Amino acid sequence: MQEMGHSGDGIVSQILDRVKNAARVELVYGESREIKGKTIVPVALVAYMFGGGAAAGVEPSGNGANEQVGGGSGGGGSVRVQPVGVLEITEDETRLVPIIDWTRIITTGITFLGFWMLLRTLTRRQK
């Protein structure tokens, strides 16, 4: 097993190398298609999230010096790709046609309605 130390530098550099290799414009702009005289290009939002960390534990020995007892390091990450719309290209114009996420809109509305009802109930009880 390769010893990387407990600084976490090896893990972070490995994660950054993977992100650099995976970050491509093709993730944001998909392959164009010709449909009924229009060129359609899918557009997405791409988000990279990653983190890493390391720690080491020490235990005092009998002579007053510290001995390293254990340590470890770890890291991880994820990529989120969410479609946001399509570019519609014609001879006359180019426009972005958004993709509406109704599930997110409805969920947000229900959440705000729930908070409003909760606050309304709590403020009426205090009167």
Q: For each successive 10 residues of the chain (127 residues), what is the average pLDDT? A: 52 75 78 92 87 77 68 79 91 92 92 96 80
Is residue 19 one of the residues assigned to a domain?
A: yes
**pLDDT at site 112:** 97
Which residue, 112, 106, 97, 94, is CA-closest to 42?
97
pTM beyond 0.95: the answer is: no
Task: Annotate 77-123 with DSSP letters as a single string.
Answer: EEEEEEEEEEEEE-SS-EEEEEPP-HHHHHHHHHHHHHHHHHHHHHH
**pLDDT at site 7:** 54
SS3 5: coil
Is residue 89 one of the residues assigned to a domain?
A: yes
Is residue 2 one of the residues assigned to a domain?
A: no
What is the domain extent for residue 120?
Answer: 9-126
**pLDDT at site 72:** 81
φ, ψ at 105 (rounded to 5°): -65, -45
In this structure, how many other beta carbons lie within 10 angstroms of the beta carbon of residue 15? 17
Is residue 18 one of the residues assigned to a domain?
A: yes
d(CA 12, CA 6): 12
Is residue 4 one of the residues assigned to a domain?
A: no
Q: Which residues pair with 43 in a beta bridge?
A: 29, 85
How many domains does the structure of the chain reveal?
1
Amino acid identity, residue 5? G
Q: Tokens 């470890």 appear where? A: 72
Is residue 44 one of the residues assigned to a domain?
A: yes
Is residue 3 one of the residues assigned to a domain?
A: no
φ, ψ at 89 (rounded to 5°): -110, 120
